[in-house]
Amino acid sequence: MKSTFRERLLEAMEMRGMKAADLARISGLSKAQISQYVNGHHEARQKPLHQLAAALCVDESWLMGCDVPAERNDEPDADLLADEEKAMLWLIHSVPKEVQRDILGVIQVLLELPAEDRKKYLEKLKNLKNFENLKNLRNQEPKNPQLF
C-alpha cells in the first residue's frame, strides 16, 4: 500500500532526528507550513516538496509516497560547486552517518548564534588546530568535556 505524504514526512524527520522547527529553519518553509504538513492538513506542492526533500536528504518521489528508495540518488553537479563546497562534501561523506549528524548539529547550533558570538566560537575552533598535541587528543578521552 502506498504511504501518505504525512507518514513519509514524519518518517524522514525521525530518520534525520529533526523536529518541525528544525525542518522549517533548514528548508526555509514557515513553521505554520510544516505544521500543516505534519498534521496531514495539506500536502506539499512542487517547490515546497523539493525544499522538504532537500532538507531531509530524501527522494521527492519517496516523500510523496511512491515505492522508491528513500535516499536521494542525485549527486550535486561538481562543476557547479565552489571548491569549499566540494571540500565540505568530501569531508562529510568521509565520516560515519552518526558522526555526520553530530557535525550537522554543531553547524546548526553555530548558525543559530548571533553573528558576533558565532565569530568568537569559530575563532576558538580555528585555534584548536594549533595545539601541538592535537593528534594525541584524538585518541584520548577529554579531561574537560566542555570545549569553551
Domains of the chain, first to last: 5-63 (1.10.260.40), 78-136 (no CATH)
Query: What are the grid coordinates assigned to 26, written together?
Result: 533548514
In tens, the pLDDT along 19-50 reads 999 899 888 899 999 999 999 999 999 999 98
Report how far apart the first and last C-alpha atoms of the chain are (Å, whole number).
51
The per-type count for the chain, helices as H runs and strands as E runs, is 9, 0
The predicted model scores a pTM of: 0.52
Q: How confident is the model over 104-136, as pLDDT tens digits? A: 888 888 888 888 888 888 888 777 755 544 444
**Cell representation of residue 21:** 522547527
